[in-house]
A = this chain, B = another copy of it.
Amino acid sequence: MCRRWTPCRPVLESPIDLHDRSSSTRFFWAASPGQIYPELKRLESDGLLTRSEEPHGGRARNIYSVTEPGERALREWLTESSDAMFEMRNEALLKVFFADVLTTEQQIEVVRAMRAQHEAILDGIRQGTPAYRADRQFGYISRLYGLGLLGWVVEWCKQLEGDLAAGRMPLGFEGDDAVAARTR
């Protein structure tokens, strides 16, 4: 797990709309326009992208395309074997982690809030560009990943809400003896 900042080098010719809030990368790559625009400028001045303008409702819209050196840099990044960045900040789950000080009803509410948040992210992925295209197969595959992963989280929350309401131990629980035997 590496903490260095990797500039968002890859920008492809296929339409990735920076203003699309339900963008297909949003759920696994947090980046604000304030981070993306300077990076696009840098890539352009480095000759990895070219920019053209297109009229769009009275004002010009920037269209970026990858140059040959840009595509070489993309392939290099894709095939390099250095540690990939993995960084997660999930406050809803952090609340679950610290929920022992609450009443059972409040605990269920914390899990319900976590579920609602992940349902909203799942809806965002569902509303994102769904069409399969032969030349953008992996965008489609990443979307399937998001649907599956967020679906898993939503189901996990539902299960836990039920377990807490019924006073059951959660799925996967091992008693002290089982844990002791496994870690011996």
Main secondary structure on A side of the interface with B: helix
Q: Tell me whether A89 is interfacial, beta carbon within 8 Å.
A: yes
- Please tell me the size bucket of the interface on A: 35 or more
Contact A78 B102 (CB under 8 A): yes
A12 contacts B98, C-beta separation under 8 Å? yes
* Complex alpha-carbon distance, A8 and B170, angstroms: 26
The smallest C-beta distance from A75 to any residue of chain B, in angstroms, reads: 6
In this assembly, does A71 line the interface, its C-beta being within 8 Å of a C-beta of chain B? Answer: yes
**How far is the CB of A80 from the nearest CB of chain B, in Å?**
9
The one of B3, B86, B95, B138 that contacts A117, using a Cβ cutoff of 8 Å: B86
Q: How far is the CA of A86 from the CA of B135 in the complex (A)?
A: 31
Residue among B86, B98, B101 making CB contact with A90, cutoff 8 Å: B86
What are some 29 contacts across the A-B interface (CB < 8 A)?
A3-B30, A10-B94, A24-B97, A28-B88, A29-B89, A30-B87, A30-B88, A74-B98, A75-B102, A78-B101, A79-B102, A79-B109, A84-B91, A84-B117, A85-B91, A86-B90, A86-B117, A88-B90, A96-B141, A97-B138, A97-B139, A100-B136, A100-B138, A100-B139, A130-B183, A144-B172, A144-B173, A145-B156, A147-B172
